[in-house]
Amino acid sequence: MTTPAYRDARGGDAAAVAALARRTFTDTFGHLYAPADLALFLDRHTADAWAAEISDPAYAVRLVEADGAIVAYAKLGPPSLPFTPEHGAVELRQLYVLSAFHGGGVAQALMDWTIATARARGAAALYLSVFIDNHRARRFYARYGFEEVGPYTFMVGTHEDEDIVMRLAL
């Protein structure tokens, strides 16, 4: 396995990022959902949707490549959570790493990039949501200083999950 390389996403990456988004979500959470609910959720991760976000300056997407394939990504964008954040807040929309790359510093590098990018954009705060039972991710975010704000209902198809909204003052 080669050393991971980091770069910003480009329009031509959309199909590969969409496939990775579907794979990492399914690998991490797929066992929790009925196949129909999972399929409804995954249908949102299209190459066209990713291409639109990659080309939109309101978003920033960082990729990690190893052995010629994208193995992780982080997506920063405008707040989408159902609450009113302070002016200038941004949201870490997604941060996913293939399990073969867990524990190797990839998630830390992506989080460092996310925080630095949010600060460079002048954001006052960085928000994210995390599945309530994803204790590993919650500990990871807490190490960076994120604090719990409150619950959030995250829909996977017609299935309601409880997520926790977390905030980091920048």
Q: For position 88, what pLDDT does the model report?
A: 85
User: So where are the chain's domains?
Assistant: 5-123
CA distance 11 to 85: 29
Q: Which CATH class is domain 5-123?
A: alpha beta
Q: For position 148, what pLDDT does the model report?
A: 94
CA distance 157 to 39: 7
pLDDT in tens, 74-106: 999 999 987 767 788 999 999 999 999 999 999
Q: For position 131, what pLDDT does the model report?
A: 94
Residue 6, SS3 per DSSP: strand
CA distance 117 to 128: 15
pLDDT in tens, 24-73: 999 999 899 999 999 999 998 899 999 999 999 999 999 999 999 999 99
Those residues whose C-beta lies under 8 Å from the C-beta of residue 169, and which sit 6 or more positions away, are 124, 125, 145
Q: For position 59, what pLDDT does the model report?
A: 98
CA distance 75 to 92: 6
pTM over 0.85: yes
Amino acid at 170: L
Report residue 97 as tokens: 């790493």
Q: Decide if pLDDT at 1 tops 80.
A: no
